[in-house]
Amino acid sequence: MRGIRGDRVAHPAETPKAGNPVPEPDVTAMFDSIAPAYDRMNSLMTLGRDAAWRRAARDATGLRTGDAAIDVACGTGKLAALLAEKVGPFGRVEAVDLSGEMLARGRRVFRDLVQLHFSAGNALALPFGDGEFDAATIAFGLRNLADYEAGFREMARVVRPGGTVVCLELSLPRWRTYARLYHAAFRRVAPVAGALVARRAGAYRYLPDSLDAFPSAEQLAATMRAAGLTDVAYRRLTTGVVAVHRGRVPPRG
Ligand SMILES: C[S@@+](CC[C@H](N)C(=O)[O-])C[C@H]1O[C@@H](n2cnc3c(N)ncnc32)[C@H](O)[C@@H]1O
């Protein structure tokens, strides 16, 4: 599959984990509050790597000129804009999020991309019909959903058979000592950076907390399979602090 080299196949014995316990309205209020600083914080905390990670997610979709795609939990629209450039002006990209403030920034920044539309919507009940899209993506959004498997199932529902579902998420490196060090550093740095740049230390404590309970790359692949996706594969990026997962929507039975 284009864009995912060095794929690993999900281990069937991995047990999928359920979802984010923080209530949806609290998650949305938190993202509304950090929207003005979100992009700056992203670049700062990833040392600018986030752009390359989103490009890897775009490439994993296999989208072509004229295709239709949906970016779920789109935030300020950075991945949606990359998809829009890929499908071109005769394609279509729908960018969906629950945070009005994040959507407002996306609409403002990417107003020149005529093929890109932003709308309010819940990842767990997307306002689109079955099989409308060639691909669905979610970048750093899955961790926020109350039910990860239901999130994948809903993305699969709106994608045509043979189309792709792609997830870009923070992950934990495979090497345990490094993973522990990385996690400890993230736990300390995120709130400090949040306090300095976004003036929201609390919100940036949520980030490492949400990573605590998040599935490993193997478990996430198992969750995609449980949601009915096939050919599930993933690729770790930047020493495994991030992973891109890709699955295919099977023929409807
Ligand atoms: C960490 S941001 C990621 C934004 C963007 N995808 C990116 O790559 O930067 C997570 C986004 O998920 C959105 N979100 C959280 N729960 C959601 C849900 N149930 N439905 C839709 N969007 C949701 C938040 O509002 C927020 O904009």
Written as one string, the DSSP assignment of 203-221 is HHHHHHHHHHTSPPHHHHH
What CATH code would you report for 8-174+215-248? Answer: 3.40.50.150
Using a 10 angstrom Cβ sphere, with 0-12 exposed, 13-18 middle and 19 or more buried, the burial of residue 168 is buried
Distance 145 CA to ligand 1 centre (A): 9
How far CA 12 is from CA of 79, 111, 182, 213, in Å, comes to 30, 44, 27, 20
Q: Which atom of ligand 1 is nearest to the CA of 31?
A: 25
Nearest CA owner, ligand 1 atom 9: 75
Distance 152 CA to ligand 1 centre (A): 14
Distance 253 CA to ligand 1 centre (A): 31
Nearest CA owner, ligand 1 atom 10: 141
Q: Which atom of ligand 1 is nearest to the CA of 35?
A: 27
Q: What is the pLDDT along the chain (253 residues), one digit of tens a residue?
A: 444 654 455 444 455 558 998 899 999 999 999 999 889 888 887 888 899 999 999 999 999 999 999 999 999 999 999 999 999 999 999 999 999 999 999 999 999 999 999 999 999 999 999 999 999 999 999 999 999 999 999 999 999 999 999 999 988 777 666 666 666 666 666 666 656 655 565 665 666 666 667 788 999 999 999 999 999 999 999 888 899 999 999 998 7
Residues with CB under 6 A from ligand 1: 24, 27-28, 31, 73-75, 78-79, 97-99, 102, 122-124, 139-141, 144-145
Question: CA–CA separation, 202 vs 12, rounded Å?
Answer: 37
Question: CA–CA separation, 118 vs 203, rounded Å?
Answer: 24
pLDDT, residue 8, reads: 54
pLDDT, residue 2, reads: 44
Number of other residues whose CB lies within 10 A of the CB of residue 237: 17
Q: Which atom of ligand 1 is nearest to the CA of 20?
A: 16
- Written as one string, the DSSP assignment of 30-87 is HHHHHHHHHHHHHHHHTTTTHHHHHHHHHHHHT--TT-EEEEET-TTSHHHHHHHHHH
For 24, the enclosing helix (H) or strand (E) is helix 24-45
pLDDT, residue 202, reads: 60
Q: How many residues does the chain have?
A: 253
Pocket test for ligand 1, best of 33, 98, 153 (most atoms within 8 A of CB): 98
DSSP single-letter state for residue 232:
E
DSSP single-letter state for residue 12:
T
The 10s digit of each residue's pLDDT in 69-78 is: 999 999 999 9
Output the pTM of the full model.
Answer: 0.89
Distance 99 CA to ligand 1 centre (A): 7
pLDDT, residue 4, reads: 62
Distance 11 CA to ligand 1 centre (A): 28
In sign, the C-alpha dihedral spanning 15, 21, 23, 29 is negative
